[in-house]
Amino acid sequence: MADDPPVTPYDKPAGGWDALRSSLHALREQDVVLKGAGTLLRTNQPTGFDCPGCAWPDRNAHSSFEFCENGVKAVANEATARRVTREFFAEHPVAWLAQQDDHFLEAQGRLTEPMAYDAASDRYVPIGWNDAFARIAAALHALPSPDAAVFYTSGRTSNEAAFLYQLFVREFGTNNLPDCSNMCHEPSGVALTEQLGSGKGSVTLDDFEQCDAIFIFGQNPGTNHPRMLGELRSAAKRGCRIVAFNPLRERGLERFTNPQSPAEMFGGGSTRIATHYYQPRIGGDLAVATAIAKVVVERDAVDHAFIAAHVDGFDALAASLRATGWDALERESGLTRKQLEEAAQVYVDSRATILCWGMGITQHRRSVATIQMLANVLLLRGNIGRPGAGPCPVRGHSNVQGDRTMGIYEQPSDAFLDHLGAAFDFAPPRAHGFDTVAAIEAMHDGRAAVFFAMGGNFAAATPDSARVHAALQRCALTVQVSTKLNRSHVVHGRDALILPCLGRTEIDLQAGGPQAVTVEDSMSMVHLSSGMNPPASEHLLSEPAIVARLAAATLPRSRTRWAWLVEDYDRIRDRIAQVVDGFDDFNARVRRPGGFHLRHPGRDRRFPTPSGRAQLFAHPLDEGSMATPAPAPFTLMTVRAHDQYNTTIYGLDDRYRGVHGLRRVCFISPADLQRHGLADGQHVDITSVWHAADGALEERTVSDFRLIAYDIPDGCLASYFPETNALVPLDHHAERARTPASKAIPVRLSPRAPA
C-alpha cells in the first residue's frame, strides 16, 4: 500500500550502537530512564534479580552490564511508569479493548489491583483479594470433578511459586498442569529422556570455551537469546567453527558488534559468527541431521569405544543411514549433497561439538525424530560427557525449565508423587492430566470449566486462536495472574478475574522480611533472584502469596501450613529439598555465589534409561508427516520480530530484517513472487489448508499481510506470531510431544484488492 513504511535491508552487524539506541529508546518509551538504568545495573547480578527475559545463563565472572538489548526491553516494560488503574478499566469496555492490538494492550502499563469482570457493564471492576479468592474457591467447588479445572503455568513463574502451585493443584485433586513447555521444548524432553535418560541439555557455559565446533539449528539467538552472541563471538575469535542451519538469514548468526567492546564500538569492528551458513527448507532439519550421521558412519568416523561402552542401537541406525539415498536427503533438506557433506566434514573434523537448537526444531510434526537424530549425531562420535561437547536445547522463558523441575507437568512421575505425598501427608492424584492441546479441547467441549493461569498470555500464545478463544469464552471462570494487560484478559470466561502480581524487579516483602526466589536457567544453573524496586502498586501480591491465599480459601481442611510457608521462602525451599531430586541442602547451596548446578548424568557418561545405556534411534525420512503431500503451495513458519518476546510486543520494529512499524508481514523469496505473479509490497490474505483427523479439508485465514521479498528458500514463508497463530490447526502438532507445529503450516496466498 502506498502508505506502508519502507522495508530497508539491514546491512550492519547485530548489536553495536543500534542496540544501545534501541535500549535507550525502550527506557524512554516506558518513562524510566533513570529508574531503568539503576534497575539494569542489578540485572543478572549475584545479589540482584534474574532478567525476566529468556533463560540464557549468566557468567559467574560478572561485568556491571550483564544484560542485552532485549533484556533492557523486558526490564523497562516491567519497571514502566505506566499504570492500568481502575479508572482505565472504567473508561474502556472489554469489547473495545478486545479490538486493540497486542502492542497497544502491552503498552498500557502495570496492573495495579485485583479486578473482576462485570458482565452488565462489560467492564472490569475492582474486587478485594479475599473476595477474589472466595470467588475462585466457590467456582472450583462447584465443578463436578477437580479434573474440570485447568491450571496453566507460564515460564516466568519462580521455583517457589511453581512448587506451591503444583502442590495446591494436586491437593485440590488434579494433574491438569499444562505449561508453556508444552508449546516449546516438550519434544526435546520426550526425545532426550528416551535417548539419554534426562530431558535437559548437558552443556554449561564453560563448554562454550572448550568446543571447537558449534552447530545451531532452528534458532535466532540475535533476537531470542542475545547474550548467546557473546559466547559465539568469543568462540569464533578463538577459531571455533560455527555452523548455522536456518531457512532465514538471521543477522545475529552472521556478524556481531559487541556493545561491551570499546574496540569494536569505536573502531567500527565486528566479529563474523557463522563460518558456515545453510538455509534448509522449512522442516528439512531431520534430513540434515540424517545426512551428517550418514557421513559419520560411512566414513567410519564413529567413536566405537564409546558406542561399545555406553550406547545401544548402532547396527539398526547404521543400516538405516546406509539405506537412505542422497536424492532423498537433498530433496527433504533443500540442500545439496555438497553442502551436507561439507557441514558433516566440519563435524567429523571436530574434537568436541555442541549442538544447539530452538523452536525451529521443536515446533514440527516430526520434531522428536529430528531431535533424536541430532542426539544420534552426538552419540556416534562420543560428544557427550566430554568437555566442550553435548546437546544444548536453548530454552525460552527465564524459568521454564525450573517450573518443570518443580513438578509443573501433567505427566508427573510416580517417584515425584510419592515424595510429594509423603512430605505433605496426602494422596496426590495419579491419573495424568491435560497438556495444553488437551486443555483447549476440554474447555472447548465443556469437560473443563475453570481456567487458571499463573502468568503468561494463553489466548495469544496458543495455536488455532478462534478455537482457543471459543474454549476460554465457554468457561464458567477464567483467572489470570499477570503483571501487564494482555489478550488473555479480553478473551475470558463468563466470569473473569485479573490478579496482579509483583514483578521480578520488585521487592517481595513478607512477614519474614524481603524474600528472594530462585530460577533454573537453560543450562541447569539454579540461582537466587531478589527484586530491588518498590512494587508498582500497594495492592500487588507475590506469586507464592497468591497461591498460598488461594489454597487456604479453597482447601480449608488442608494440613499444609500455607500462610507459614510464604512468611519466609526458605521454608518453601526446605520442602522442595524434601521432594525434588538434586535440591538437598537447597537454602545453603543456592546462597553460594552464582547458585548451584543440577548436574546432567550424561556429563559423567551415565544414562539413566531403562537399559542404563544411551540409545540410538533410526528415523527413516519417509515415515510420518513427510510422506503426506502438503495440500498447499507454501509452508509457513511463525517467527518473532526483534521487538518482541514471546507474545509480548515491545514495539513494531524488526530491525535486523529491515522492518519498521509493521507487524502483518510475510517474508517470501523473490523467485516465488515471480512464480506466483505476486509483487514485493503487495497485500495478501494467508490461508492454512489441512486435512483434519476425520479427513475433511479445513481452512483458516488471516487477512491483510504485506509481502516482503526476502532471502528465504522457495516454497517457504515466514510471518510473526501471535498474528499468525490462528493459522495453526489445534491437531497440527508434534508426534508424541503434541507441541503445536507452528513452524510448518501448509498455506496459500490470496492477493487483496489494492486499498
In sequence order, the β-bridge partners of residue 363 are: none
- How many angstroms separate the most distant Cα atoms in the chain? 73
In the complex with ligand SF4, the residue whose CB is nearer, 134 or 205, is 205
In the complex with ligand SF4, the residue whose CB is nearer, 56 or 650, is 56
**Which residue type does 500 have?**
P
In the complex with ligand SF4, the residue whose CB is nearer, 67 or 151, is 67
d(CA 322, CA 402): 40
Q: How far is the CB of 457 from ligand SF4 (least distance, A)?
A: 17
How far, in Å, are 50, 498, 624, 665 from residue 729 at the CA level?
A: 35, 28, 17, 20
Q: How far is the CB of 230 from ligand SF4 (least distance, A)?
A: 9
Burial (Cβ within 10 Å: 0-12, 13-18, ≥19) of residue 508: buried
Q: How far is the CB of 657 from ligand SF4 (least distance, A)?
A: 19
Residues in contact with ligand SF4 by CB under 6 A are 51, 53-54, 56, 67-68, 70-71, 74, 225-227
In the complex with ligand SF4, the residue whose CB is nearer, 194 or 506, is 506
Q: How far is the CB of 396 from ligand SF4 (least distance, A)?
A: 10
In the complex with ligand SF4, the residue whose CB is nearer, 80 or 324, is 80
Q: How wide is the angle at C-alpha 48 spanned by C-alphas 43 and 54, nearest 5°?
A: 45
d(CA 103, CA 147): 35
3-state secondary structure of 544: helix
In the complex with ligand SF4, the residue whose CB is nearer, 68 or 76, is 68
In the complex with ligand SF4, the residue whose CB is nearer, 26 or 355, is 26
In the complex with ligand SF4, the residue whose CB is nearer, 58 or 285, is 58
Q: How far is the CB of 14 from ligand SF4 (least distance, A)?
A: 13
Residues with Cβ within 8 Å of residue 182, at least 6 apart in sequence: 410, 435, 436, 437, 738, 739
Q: How far is the CB of 13 from ligand SF4 (least distance, A)?
A: 17
d(CA 430, CA 668): 48
8 A C-beta contact, residue 434 and residue 150: yes
Sort residue 125 into left (φ over 0), alpha (ψ -120 to 50) or beta: beta
Q: How far is the CB of 51 from ligand SF4 (least distance, A)?
A: 3
Q: Are strands 241-245 and 525-529 parallel, antiparallel or unpaired?
A: unpaired
Q: How far is the CB of 43 from ligand SF4 (least distance, A)?
A: 7
Q: How far is the CB of 189 from ligand SF4 (least distance, A)?
A: 21
In the complex with ligand SF4, the residue whose CB is nearer, 45 or 353, is 45
d(CA 225, CA 233): 13
Q: How far is the CB of 300 from ligand SF4 (least distance, A)?
A: 40
8 A C-beta contact, residue 490 and residue 463: no
8 A C-beta contact, residue 634 and residue 747: yes
In the complex with ligand SF4, the residue whose CB is nearer, 399 or 478, is 399
Across 423-566, where does the E strand assignment appear? Answer: 450-454, 477-482, 495-500, 509-510, 513-514, 517-520, 525-529
DSSP annotation of 462 reads S
Q: Which helix (H) or strand (E) holds 400?
A: helix 400-405
8 A C-beta contact, residue 442 and residue 150: yes
In the complex with ligand SF4, the residue whose CB is nearer, 56 or 607, is 56
In the complex with ligand SF4, the residue whose CB is nearer, 54 or 572, is 54
Q: How wide is the angle at C-alpha 691 spanned by C-alphas 687 and 693, nearest 5°?
A: 135
In the complex with ligand SF4, the residue whose CB is nearer, 233 or 575, is 233
Residues with Cβ within 8 Å of residue 632, at least 6 apart in sequence: 687, 688, 689, 746, 747, 748
> How many CA atoms lie within 13 Å of 323's alpha carbon, on the beta-carbon side?
11
In the complex with ligand SF4, the residue whose CB is nearer, 35 or 397, is 397
Residues with Cβ within 8 Å of residue 211, at least 6 apart in sequence: 235, 240, 350, 352, 353, 354, 388, 389
Q: How far is the CB of 50 from ligand SF4 (least distance, A)?
A: 7
Q: How far is the CB of 205 from ligand SF4 (least distance, A)?
A: 12
Q: How far is the CB of 53 from ligand SF4 (least distance, A)?
A: 3
Q: How far is the CB of 645 from ligand SF4 (least distance, A)?
A: 7
d(CA 246, CA 227): 19
> How many CA atoms lie within 13 Å of 694's alpha carbon, on the beta-carbon side?
2
SS3 string, 161-191, reads: HHHHHHHHHHHHCCCCCCEHHHHCCHHHHHH
In the complex with ligand SF4, the residue whose CB is nearer, 37 or 138, is 37
8 A C-beta contact, residue 169 and residue 136: no
d(CA 632, CA 568): 57
Q: How far is the CB of 232 from ligand SF4 (least distance, A)?
A: 12
